[in-house]
Amino acid sequence: MSILVPLITILLLLIAIGAAIFYLVLKEQSKQPIPAPSLKVQAQSPKSNAQPQSPVTEAQYLRIGWQKDASETLQKFMSAQTAVEKLPFIINGDQLAQKVDAFYGGTRINDSDTPAEAFSAFELSDEDKKRGIFMMSYDQPPQFAMKEFFRPLAPLEVQYGLREADLLLSTVALVENFAMEPLRVHAFFKRTPSGMKLDWETFVQTKYRTFETFVGLPEPGLKSVFRVLILEDVPEQGHGEKGTRTYRLIDPANKSDTQRVDVKVDSDIGRTLSPLNWRGTQETRPNTKTATVELAWTGSANNPQLELSRFICWEFLGLGGESTATAVAPK
Q: Is residue 259 situated within a structural domain?
A: yes
- Write out pLDDT tens, residues 164-190: 655 554 444 554 455 567 789 999 999
Find the distance separating the first CA and the last CA of the chain, reported in whole Å: 120
Q: Is residue 15 situated within a structural domain?
A: no
Angle at Cα 89 formed by Cα 84 and Cα 93, nearest 5°? 60
Q: What is the pLDDT of residue 34?
A: 44
pLDDT averaged over every residue in the chain = 81
Statement to judge: residues 223 and 309 lie in one domain: yes
Statement to judge: residues 267 and 297 lie in one domain: yes
Q: How far is CA 218 from CA 199, 207, 213, 236, 307, in A?
A: 27, 21, 9, 18, 11
For residue 45, pLDDT beyond 60? no
Contacts by 100-108, CB closer than 8 A, 24 or more apart: 100/200, 103/204, 108/81, 108/82
Half-sphere exposure of 41 (CA within 13 A, CB side): 2
Q: What is the pLDDT of residue 121?
A: 96
The residue that leads in pLDDT, 165 or 306, is: 306
Rounded to an integer, the average pLDDT of 193-199 is 95
Q: Is residue 86 situated within a structural domain?
A: yes
Q: Is residue 135 situated within a structural domain?
A: yes
pTM (predicted TM-score): 0.70
Statement to judge: residues 190 and 95 lie in one domain: yes
Statement to judge: residues 87 and 186 lie in one domain: yes
Q: Is residue 190 situated within a structural domain?
A: yes
Statement to judge: residues 219 and 113 lie in one domain: no
For residue 39, pLDDT beyond 50? no
Statement to judge: residues 94 and 199 lie in one domain: yes
Q: Residue 187: which CATH number?
A: 3.10.450
- pLDDT grade, residue 295 (50/70/90)? very high
Q: Going by C-beta distance under 8 Å and a sequence separation of 6 or more, which residues neighbour residue 301? A: 220
Q: Is residue 175 situated within a structural domain?
A: no
Statement to judge: residues 241 and 104 lie in one domain: no
Q: Residue 244: which CATH number?
A: 2.40.50
Please check whether residue 304 is in contact with residue 220, taking contact to mean a CB–CB distance below 8 angstroms. yes
Statement to judge: residues 187 and 224 lie in one domain: no
Percent of the chain with pLDDT over 90: 58
Q: What is the pLDDT of residue 136?
A: 97
Range of the domain at 277: 209-314
Statement to judge: residues 200 and 213 lie in one domain: no
Q: Is residue 157 situated within a structural domain?
A: no
Q: What is the pLDDT of residue 237?
A: 72
- Write out pLDDT tens, residues 76-113: 999 999 999 999 999 999 999 999 999 999 889 999 99
Please check whether residue 307 is in contact with residue 298, taking contact to mean a CB–CB distance below 8 angstroms. yes
Q: How far does Cα 155 stand from its chain's mean position?
A: 49
Please check whether residue 245 is in contact with residue 270, taking contact to mean a CB–CB distance below 8 angstroms. yes
Statement to judge: residues 194 and 234 lie in one domain: no
Statement to judge: residues 223 and 303 lie in one domain: yes
Half-sphere exposure of 272 (CA within 13 A, CB side): 21
Q: Is residue 243 situated within a structural domain?
A: yes
Which of 90, 104, 105 shows the shortest CA–CA distance to 319? 90
Structural domain count of the chain: 2
- pLDDT grade, residue 140 (50/70/90)? confident
Amino acid at 6: P
Statement to judge: residues 253 and 239 lie in one domain: yes
Largest Cα span, the chain:
149
